[in-house]
Amino acid sequence: MEVRADDVSKVIGPATLLAPVSVSAPSGSCLVLRGPNGSGKTTLLRILIGTLPATTGTAQVGDRPADERDPVVRAAVAALVGAPATYRDLTLRDHLVLLDATWGGDSDTCDERVAAALEELGIGHLGERFPHELSSGQTQLFRLCLTLFRPSEVLVLDEPEQRLDTTKRALVADLVAARRDAGTTIVLACHDPVITERLTGRPADRVVDLVAADSATERASGDD
């Protein structure tokens, strides 16, 4: 499923959060957004997943406007943009079981798939812990696990490398690359060169460098 943004920008009051930009990620490719703090990476991701309407331009997921109120968009897009709401009285394993059930997963294979998903990210031994009992790095792995576990055609991640050690970053890069190779469209904001290199090795993959809105304005003035 293709993800596309045409000339989108975001302005709130006097603040320009995102200068006009166009990006696209064809089906089964990876788009990596880079740029300094304040360049609008997270804002663009929120526009692409449909939780934030753009001030100008349009964003689409497949052939539908990017609006998470549309159940089809919600079903297609798995996103880790900000902290997901978790249940304080469920263990990590319970979360994945609940997630699987709400997406209509096969109940006969649920336990095995849940165990495998936790093991993939190296947190299989934490299955009986509650979310508040995790370190910050383990919390990030758990959030990634939730996002990767739910079915999706588009995967959107905001700095998945946050709080992870070098080994885990490589592990996450491999898992996300495997999803891309399986046909999922990947869009992520990332500062990590290893993950970026791992995910942009194919011709269809792209890296887009965003610039801060102020710099864009200055540059435009200079061009004039």
Partner 1 sequence: MSLEAALDDGRDRLEDATHVLHGPQGNQARKEVAYAAYVTLIVVGLYGFPVLRALVIAGDRAGMAAALKSPWAVALAIGLIAAVLAMAREAGRVRGPVVAPVPWVDHVVTSSIDRWDALRPWFGYALFTTLFAGGLSGLLVGASLWGAGVAASWVLPVAVLVALVIGLGAGTAWLLGQSRLSPPLPRRSAGAWWRQEVRRLGLQDLRTQAARSGRIVGGVQAGDLRAVRLEAARPVTRGRTLRLRHRGPVGTLVARDVLGLRRSSGAAVVGIVASAAAAVALGGALGSPSVPPLVAFVGGLVSYLGMGALSEGLRLEADTMGTPALFGAPPVRAAAAHLVVPGTLHLLVTTTAGAVTGLAAGATLAAVLPWCVISTLFALGGSLLAAYRGRPPTSPFNPVPNAQTIVLWYSAPLVLCTLLIGGTVWGATQWPASGPFVIVTWVAAVWIVYAGLNRAQRESLAHRDV
Q: Which of 80, 155, 188, 195 binds partner 1 (CB under 8 A)?
A: 80
Taking residue 75's Cβ as centre, other Cβ atoms within 10 Å add up to 13
Cβ nearer to partner 1, comparing 139 with 200? 139
Least distance (Å) from partner 1 to the CB of residue 78? Answer: 8
Interacting residue with partner 1 among 99, 154, 155, 190 (CB under 8 A):
99
Beta bridge partners of residue 4, listed in sequence order:
24, 60
Q: What are phi and psi of 178, to 5 degrees?
A: -65, -40
Draw the binding track, 173-202, toward partner 1 (x: CB under 8 A; -: no contact).
------------------------------
Q: Beta-carbon neighbour count of residue 13 at 10 Å?
A: 5
CA angle 191, 197, 202 (to 5 degrees): 130
Q: Does residue 171 interact with partner 1 by CB under 8 A?
A: no
Query: Alpha helix locations (H) across the chain?
Result: 41-49, 71-76, 92-102, 110-120, 136-149, 166-181, 193-199, 213-223
**Whole-number minimum distance, CB 73 to partner 1, in Å?**
9
- Which of 150/191 has CB closer to partner 1? 150
Minimal distance, residue 2 CB to partner 1, in Å: 19
Alpha helix (H) ranges present in 83-192? 92-102, 110-120, 136-149, 166-181
Region from 57-65, 75-83, 183-191, 200-208 binding partner 1, contact rule CB under 8 A: 75-83
For residue 65, state whether it binds partner 1 (rule: CB under 8 A). Answer: no
Distance CA 176, CA 199 (A): 8
* Residue pair 163/117 in contact by the 8 Å Cβ criterion: no
Q: In the window 101-160, what residues touch partner 1 (CB under 8 A)? A: 101-105, 107, 110-111, 128-130, 132-133, 146-147, 150, 156
- Considering the complex, state which of residue 53 and residue 183 has its C-beta at the smaller distance from partner 1: 53
Tokens of 183: 């046909």
Residues in contact with partner 1 by CB under 8 A are 46, 49-53, 67-69, 71, 74-75, 77-85, 87-91, 93-94, 97-105, 107, 110-111, 128-130, 132-133, 146-147, 150, 156
